Amino acid sequence: MTQLGCRGCREGAEDFGLAMAFQPIVDVNTGHAFAYEALVRGANGESAGDVLGRVTEASRYAFDQQCRVAAIEQAVDAGILDTGARLSINFLPNAVYSPMACIQLTLKTARKTGLPSDRLIFEFTEGEEMVDTDHVASIIEAYQRLGFATALDDFGAGHAGLGLLARLQTDLIKLDMELVRGIDTSLPRRMIVEGVMRMMQGLNITVIAEGIETEAEYATLTNLGVRYQQGYLFARPALRALPEIRMPTGTARQAA
């Protein structure tokens, strides 16, 4: 999911009254949550599209800050501290004018709620236009110095994925759904993912597959060595709650 970023980090603008829905990224070796992705919703569960439709150029910076705060506070309220899982928050790097300035409210919220910085993941998508790759790299490096993990989302969706990864060196990548859907019946998809797994192992980058909906996709990805998986097969996003994980065997497990 893509959100709007924080150039200027202005506070005091419109209160968007955000709610967050959480979807687990599952460690298929244990059946527990490796992380939860925070997905923006309206206060009454309105879709991300409805919420984003209210965002203007003047309010987009405050919106991003409210997203970060809401993600952390609501995840902690939902019990993420007891699970050991990480929290993944989306951001738009082109809107971050200064990494250290724009991260201060996030750091303050994490300290206030007791969420360790090494349990935060910041993800962005390669589908976003990278006007200044060097600036984006500086954001990634700054976040990593602060103890955050970084993730390149929708890897494989565009033509720039490998080039971006060579420059940015994120800690994780999330395979685009186009590479995941129907992988059990597609030799090209299996060959591509197999090659990506080899490359990422050499680079010490963790691979996450998202959009898994069938047991056949899960089984194929697991056989290819993809340990971390996300999708409706395991759990649908839950508003202000950490949903129960249901493994394909039919065994329901709590993400703890």
pLDDT digit string, tens, across residues 165-187: 888 889 999 999 999 999 999 99
Contacts of 185 by beta carbon, 8 Å cutoff, 6+ apart: 216
Average pLDDT over residues 31-53: 90
pLDDT at residue 11 tops 60: no
Output the pLDDT for position 226.
Answer: 98
Provide Rg for the chain, Cα atoms: 18
CA-closest candidate to residue 24, choices 212, 250, 223, 187: 212
pLDDT at residue 195 tops 90: yes
The answer to whether the beta carbons of residues 193 and 199 sit under 8 Å apart is: no
Output the pLDDT for position 128.
Answer: 56
The answer to whether the beta carbons of residues 255 and 234 sit under 8 Å apart is: no
Could you give the percent of the chain with pLDDT greater than 70?
88
Average pLDDT over residues 7-33: 82
Q: What is the pTM of this model?
A: 0.89
pLDDT digit string, tens, across residues 116-131: 999 999 998 765 555 5
pLDDT at residue 200 tops 80: yes
Within 13 Å, how many C-alpha atoms sit on residue 157's CB side? 18
pLDDT at residue 250 tops 50: no
pLDDT at residue 256 tops 50: no
Could you give the percent of the chain with pLDDT greater than 90?
62
pLDDT digit string, tens, across residues 19-30: 999 999 999 999
The answer to whether the beta carbons of residues 49 and 27 sit under 8 Å apart is: no
Output the pLDDT for position 132.
Answer: 74
Burial 17-30 (b: 16+ CB within 10 A, else e): ebbbbbbbbbbbee
Q: Delineate the domains of the chain, giving CATH numbers in brackets.
A: 16-239 (3.20.20.450)
pLDDT at residue 45 tops 90: no
User: Which band of pLDDT confidence, cut at 50, 70 and 90, is reported for residue 43?
Assistant: confident
User: What are the backbone angles phi and psi of residue 95, rounded to the nearest 5°?
Assistant: -95, 0
